[in-house]
A and B are shown apart, each in its own frame.
Chain A
C-alpha cells in the first residue's frame, strides 16, 4: 500500500486530536483539504471488464458542499464510478482525488470511508442480524481499530445521536427490531441513517428512493437538500421527478463518460441527451 509520509503524519495528528463535540449533521472532522478547489476530482478515468469499457475517459468534479445528481441509462457506468471512488474497483487509468491531498487510488475502502466518504448502495445493505440501533451504532464515527472496537461502549452522547438519527429516519419505534425484518423502504431509511451516523464529508447515494412511497420521497429530497451545503452529496437516480425536485447540477453519463452537464433544464433540452434517452433505450424515465 502506497501511504505517503504525509498521510501517516496526518493520521498521527488525527489520533492526537482531543474529542470534539459535534452538533447534529455537522460533518465529522475530515482531513480532506478543500482550500484549493473541489472535494472530488476524477480525471481521465477508464476501466474495462473483459474488454467491455465500463468507464471511458471520465472526468468529473464535485465542489465542496455541492448536491450533484448523476443520471444516465442502464450500463452508463454510474455504479462503477461509485465503486471507483470508494475503492472497490481500481481503474485501469486516470486519477481520483479527494480534496487536493488524498489520492483515492492509493487507499482501500476502510481508509476512504474513514476519510469521510460515505456510500449508500443501490440495493439496501444493512446488517440483518443486528437490530436498528446496533446498525447505527456501528456506523457511528469513532475509532475503528480492533482493540478500541472491542472495548467501545455507547456513551450518553452516542446514544442521543442515535436517538436523533432514529427520529430523522422515522425508525424510533423499530429501534430494537432486527434489520432483517424491516421493509424495503425502512431498510433504505436505515441505510441513510447509517450514512448520517458516519457524518461523511461526501455522500454517494445510489438510487435512494427506490421502493419508497411518495411522501417518503419528499422527505428524502428534503433531507438531501438539507445535507448539501455542509456536506457534498452525489445522487445517482433513475427517477427523473425526484432528480428534478432536488437537483441543482445534473451530470448525464453515457457509455462510461460524461455526455452533458448543467442544470436539469439545460440537460433535458440537450439533443444528445434526448437521443440517448429516447433513442432505443427502453429504460428512459
Chain B
C-alpha cells in the first residue's frame, strides 16, 4: 500500500539512513529479548523528560522527544504515541502532565501522564496539549517505528530499503552490500540491489545500469536524467535505460488514465442509470433524481451514525438501505405526483423540479445545511499499488466494480424477470399490455421505485467519494441527463457506453487542457454528436409509423 511508502519522512533520509536500517534489522533479530528490563518509576526523570517538551520551538520539542525515545522510561511509547496524536498535554495552571484518553467532544477524560492515574476530565481551558508540526510528526513516527517490536518485519525492512534508493554513499555502501548479502526476502533484496546499482552508476559503472532497466521508481529516473545528459558512453547507455523507463512509464500512465476515465465514467453511469429507467423507460423527466441520489447518501450517513465505529458494516447495510429508502421515496413520489401526470412528460419536469427544491430544503432543515462526514472503511482507503507507476485507488475501484454489478443486475432484471418483461411490455404498448392483464399502474410504480432505488445506490457510492450535503444531487443532474441522452433514451447499454466514454474522454483531455476546458469540450462534443445522431449512440431503429 502506498500509504506506507510515503509516510516516513525526509528527515530520516537526510541522516545516515543505513544505520536506521541496521537498527531495524537488529531490533528484529533481537525481538525475542524483552526490550526494557528496567522499571522506570523514577518520577523526577520522567518529569524532566516531559518538561523538556514544554517549549514553543519545534526543534527543541523534537530533541526532547528524541531524548524520551532514547531514555529507558517505561511510559515512553505511550507518551510518544500521545504526542503524535496531540493527546499529551500539560496542566495550564499547574505542572502536572496529562494524557487525554479521548479527545472527542469538549470535555476530555484525562489521566496523569506519569502515573497513569485517573485525573478526571479536562477541557481546552485546563489542559494545554503539546503541539507538533509536520516535520516533528515525521520524526516521532520514526522514533516509534524503531521502538516498536514489530519494526523488524518485512514491510519495515522493505520501506527502509526503499528509502535507501539514491541515498547510498561511499560511507554506507559497504554496509548496504553486507545487508544485501544477509537479506532473505527477495523484495527487499531487489530494492537494496537498485539502491546499490544507482550508487555504482553514479560512480561510473555502466554495467549496473542493467539492474535499473525498467525500474519505475521516480527517484531512479531523477538520478539517471542528469547522468544521461552528458555524451559519454555511460550517458548513451543511461539514455537508453532512461528511454526504456520513460516508455514503460508512458504505457502505465495510459493504463492509469484509462482507469481514471472508467472510474469517472462509472460515477456518471451510476448517477445516470436510475434516470435511464425513469426517464428512458417511463418518459418521466425526473428533476428530483439528484435528490434521490442525495437521499441514498444521507441514508449511508444515518446508518453510520447508528453503527459508530463500524463503517464497513454500515456501508454494507447502506447498500440495501439506500436502495430501499430512495426507492420508497420514489414510490411515494410516483403515487402522489407522477401518477397524475401520465402522458404529460414535460409537466413531470415541473412538478419534480418543485419536489427537488422541497427535498433539498428538507434536508437542510432536518440535517443542517452543512456537509455530513461519511467515513470510509479501512478496506476502501489507500490504493492497490500495482507498481511504482500504476495504482488503483481502492474506493474508486470499488465504485467501478459496484457500478458494473448494479448495471449487470439491472440488465438481468429487465431481461429475465417478470417485472422486466412487464416493464418492457408497458413501455412498448401500454394499452395492449393492460389488455393482456399487466397491471400497468403497478408496473409504473415499481419501475419508478426501481429507478429511484438505483439513484439511492448511486448516493451510497458517492458518499465514499464526495461531499454528503444538500447540494450533492444537484451537481449530477445535468450530467445524468446528458449521459442518458447521449447513450440513447431507453437503452441501458447506451447509458453504460455513454457514461464510460464521456468519463474516459474527459480524463484524457484533462491533463492537456485543464479540467474546465475538458468539460466544455465534452459538452460541445456531445452537442455536436447529437446533431450527427439525433437519437444518441444506440438509437432505437425500426419502422416508425
Contact = CB atoms under 8 A, between A and B. Distances in A.
Interface string B335-346: 000000000000
Contact of A50 (B542, B544, B545): B542
Interface string A79-111: 110010000110000000000000000000000
Contacts of A50: 541-542
A88 B544 CA distance: 9
B541 A79 contact: no
Interface in A210-253: none
Contacts of A49: 541-543
Size band of the interface chain B makes with A: under 10
Nearest to A51: B541
A49 B541 CA distance: 7
A50 to B, nearest CB: 5
A163 B543 CA distance: 37
A157 B545 CA distance: 35
B543 A80 contact: yes
A176 to B, nearest CB: 27
A54 B543 contact: yes
A70 to B, nearest CB: 16
Nearest to B540: A50
By secondary structure, the B interface counts as loop
Contacts of A263: none
A255 interface: no
Contacts of B542: 49-50
Interface in A114-147: 122-123
Contacts of B543: 49, 54, 79-80, 83, 89
Nearest to A206: B545
A52 B543 CA distance: 10
B545 A122 contact: yes
B104 to A, nearest CB: 62
Interface string A135-169: 00000000000000000000000000000000000
A80 B543 CA distance: 7
A49 B544 CA distance: 11
A122 B545 CA distance: 9
A83 to B, nearest CB: 7
Nearest to B545: A79
A252 B542 CA distance: 23
Interface in B518-534: none
B374 to A, nearest CB: 45
Contacts of A122: 545
Contacts of B545: 79, 83, 122-123
A122 B544 CA distance: 12
A208 to B, nearest CB: 16
Interface in A51-75: 54
A89 B541 CA distance: 11
B516 to A, nearest CB: 38
Residue in B541, B542, B543, B544 whose Cβ sees the most chain A Cβ within 10 Å: B543
A59 to B, nearest CB: 21
A117 to B, nearest CB: 18
A159 to B, nearest CB: 34
A284 B543 CA distance: 22
Interface in B496-545: 541-545
A79 B545 CA distance: 8
Contacts of A54: 543
A192 to B, nearest CB: 19
Interface in B454-492: none
B538 to A, nearest CB: 12
Interface string A28-64: 0000000000000000000001100010000000000
Nearest to A75: B543
A154 B534 CA distance: 37
A88 B541 CA distance: 13
A71 to B, nearest CB: 18
Contacts of A80: 543
A177 B544 CA distance: 30
A55 to B, nearest CB: 10
Contacts of B544: 88
Contacts of B541: 49-50
A202 B541 CA distance: 29
A89 B542 CA distance: 10
Interface in B18-62: none
* A-B residue pairs, 8 tightest by C-beta: A49-B542, A50-B541, A79-B545, A49-B541, A80-B543, A49-B543, A54-B543, A50-B542
15 contacts: A49-B541, A49-B542, A49-B543, A50-B541, A50-B542, A54-B543, A79-B543, A79-B545, A80-B543, A83-B543, A83-B545, A88-B544, A89-B543, A122-B545, A123-B545
Interface of A: 49-50, 54, 79-80, 83, 88-89, 122-123
Interface of B: 541-545
Given A50-B541, A50-B542, A83-B543, 5 more contacts: A49-B541, A49-B542, A49-B543, A80-B543, A88-B544
